[in-house]
Amino acid sequence: MTGAGMIDEITFREVTDNDLEAMNLLVNNEDIARYLDLIPPVPMSKTIDFRQFAASRGAMWWCILKGNDIIGSAGIVPEDSEGKMSHVGVFFIYILKEYWGLGYGDLAVDYALARAECAGLRRVECIVSAENRRAISLYEQKGFSIEGVKRKAFFYGEEYSDVVVMGKIL
C-alpha cells in the first residue's frame, strides 16, 4: 500500500548466511550503532559469531525488506532452554534512519511479538538507550513496560547514558 499517510508494504524473512554482510553493515551504520551495545567498527567475525550463538539458542532473526532492499533487522533470542528463564526472549530491532518514523518499526515489532508468541515464549524483554525516546515510546505503545533503569550503563563516543530495561508479558 502506498499513498499519503501510508507506508509501503514490507516483508520479513529469516537471515541467511548470504545476509551476514548486510547485517554487519547495518550494525556499523553510524545512526544505528549509536543505540546498540556493540562498539563499532564491528568486525564481520563478530556478526558470524552472533549468528552461531543465535542459532544455538533457537533464535528468530529476520531481515526487514522493502521490496528487495534490506532496510533493517529484528529478532528474538530465547534464553537458555535448560534454565528457569526458558520462556523469555530478548528482543532487538534496528532500521536504517531514512525509514524511521514511517511505521516500519511498528510493523516489525508486531511481527516479532506474534512470532514470539507462536514459539511459546511468555515474556519478551529488551534494553534501550535512554536517549532513544522514539524506540521507548514505540515499545510502550506495544505494551512493553519500563521495568528499570541502569544508570550510566551505556557508553558511546565519550558519553555515558542510561539504559532502560523494558519487558512485555505475552
Assess contact for 12 and 111: CB atoms under 8 A. yes
Domain boundaries, the chain: 11-122
The domain 11-122 belongs to what CATH superfamily? Answer: Gcn5-related N-acetyltransferase (GNAT) (3.40.630.30)
pLDDT in tens, 28-84: 999 999 999 888 899 999 999 999 999 999 999 999 999 999 999 999 999 988 999
Rounded to whole angstroms, the Cα distance separating 34 from 157 reads 8
pLDDT in tens, 88-139: 999 999 999 999 999 999 999 999 999 999 999 999 999 999 999 999 999 9
